Amino acid sequence: MQSVIKVDLGPQSYNVCVRSGGLDELGSLMGGLNLGKKVLLVSNQSIFRHYGERATAGLESAGFQVDNCILPPGEQYKTLNSVQKIYGAALENRLERSSTMVALGGGVVGDMTGFAAATWLRGINVVQVPTSLLAMVDAAIGGKTGVNHPLGKNLIGAFHQPRLVLIDPDVLKTLPAREFRSAMAEVIKYGVIWDVELFEKLESCKRLDQMRYVKADLLAEILSRSCQAKADVVSKDEKESGVRAILNYGHTIGHAVESLTGYKLVNHGEGVAIGMVASSRLAVELGMWDAECDGRQLDLLAKAGLPTKLPAGMDVEEILKSLQLDKKVQDGKVRFVLPVRLGEAAVSNRVDGDVIIQVLKEML
């Protein structure tokens, strides 16, 4: 499996390389990019145990001088305190303006390392090596970096584009099933908002709830088409002043459900799946998209083993309140991404609270 996708941002352009076994080639792929000599490899304990040695060996054999910063795993460590640890390692190992941080891990490692690189010495290079499917198809591409504030996810951050994204699908062999399903929500999202062919290819697969049911050629399509969709959108609108907002399809209600359930009962992808069902229903209610497409999306999410209803006992008024705190609120109005037709979505801030409540109640 091998493909190269360009994120086209003028002088800040970079490639997303999808290659089986690519982890061993990390050093040689970084070799031609003028990334300095010193590399700080940032990872978490469990990912580093699996892949740290290979990544380090590849970097060293390409002539890089490698030091590590290993953080504890988990969203609860996505804090300024962890970023301080990365700064500490950068200082101790005398990273320079020309040096590079390499993020080896899932979205938490990628976002924190990207933020540390964005701010250390006012900005140094970062290379993203995502090891979860979710990070591969979303977080590693597009330059959104940051950490959580005690009162909300990703409230502290910066845009800082990587110099390279290296995706080695072989590392997915150790990915837990729930994380695979969670990432499938984002993949289905790309099908709905951008790539109808991806949507249809997913429909043609009998089961999508575990990676073992997904043949290698479909996995290759999932990776390359999802990365291409993300690259296309980011290339058009790096800082989310326009079309990039459509990537938040399902995320407005999704984030609210995730946070109201303590980020554990419902994880990110599961929240996005619930949010996609709700947004799709809202779009049907508003006469923007047809019920048949709504049904097709629902079937696909269910086939991926994702939730399509709200968790029992959720208070829909609380969800509405939580929506008001979302980053995507503009001038006090909640902005929803709504599907228009398969492969196309639009942003609307004209969805009435009453319709939201009605749709959410039907999902209980």
The reply to whether 244 sits near ligand GLY by the rule CB under 6 A is: yes
Q: In angstroms, give the least distance from the CB of 139 to ligand GLY.
A: 7
Output DSSP code: residue 120: G
Which amino acid, residue 43?
S
* Catalytic residue chosen out of the listed positions 38, 163, 181, 230: 230
Q: In angstroms, give the least distance from the CB of 252 to ligand GLY.
A: 12
Phi-psi region of 199 (alpha: psi -120 to 50; beta: other; left: phi over 0): alpha
Is 25 marked as a binding-site residue?
A: no
User: Within positions 183 to 222, which residues make up the interface with ligand GLY, using CB under 6 A?
Assistant: none
Sign, CA dihedral 215-221-223-224, equals positive
Q: Specify whether the CB–CB gap between 101 and 42 falls below 8 A.
A: yes
240 included as an active-site residue: yes
Output DSSP code: residue 76: G
Q: In angstroms, give the least distance from the CB of 310 to ligand GLY.
A: 22
Is 168 marked as a binding-site residue?
A: no
Give the x/- contact pattern for ligand GLY in 108-127, rule: CB under 6 A: --------------------
160 included as an active-site residue: no
Q: Which residues contact 287 (CB under 8 A, 6 or more apart)?
A: none
**What residues does 139 pair with on adjacent strands?**
none
User: Within positions 223 to 242, which residues make up the interface with ligand GLY, using CB under 6 A?
Assistant: 240
Smaller CB separation from ligand GLY, 144 or 303: 144
Is 153 marked as a binding-site residue?
A: yes
Q: Specify whether the CB–CB gap between 92 and 144 falls below 8 A.
A: no
* Catalytic residue chosen out of the listed positions 225, 248, 296, 335: 248
Q: Which residues contact 83 (CB under 8 A, 6 or more apart)?
A: 112, 115, 116, 119, 147
Closest to 208 measured CA to CA, from 229, 177, 250: 177
Report which residue's Cβ sits closest to ligand GLY: 247
Using CA atoms, how far residue 261 sits from 254, 320, 343, in Å, is: 11, 14, 31
Smaller CB separation from ligand GLY, 142 or 254: 142
Among 142, 157, 162, 307, binds ligand GLY (CB under 6 A): 142
Smaller CB separation from ligand GLY, 19 or 244: 244
The reply to whether 138 sits near ligand GLY by the rule CB under 6 A is: yes
Output DSSP code: residue 254: H
The reply to whether 144 sits near ligand GLY by the rule CB under 6 A is: yes
Q: Which residues contact 205 (CB under 8 A, 6 or more apart)?
A: 213, 214, 215, 218, 303
Strand pairing category for 336-341 and 344-348: antiparallel
The reply to whether 247 sits near ligand GLY by the rule CB under 6 A is: yes
Is 109 marked as a binding-site residue?
A: yes
The residues that touch ligand GLY, with contacts defined as CB under 6 A, are: 138, 142, 144, 240, 244, 247
Catalytic residue ranges: 122, 144, 186, 230, 240, 244, 248, 251, 255, 268
List residues forming the annotated binding site. Answer: 107-111, 131-132, 144, 153, 186, 251, 268
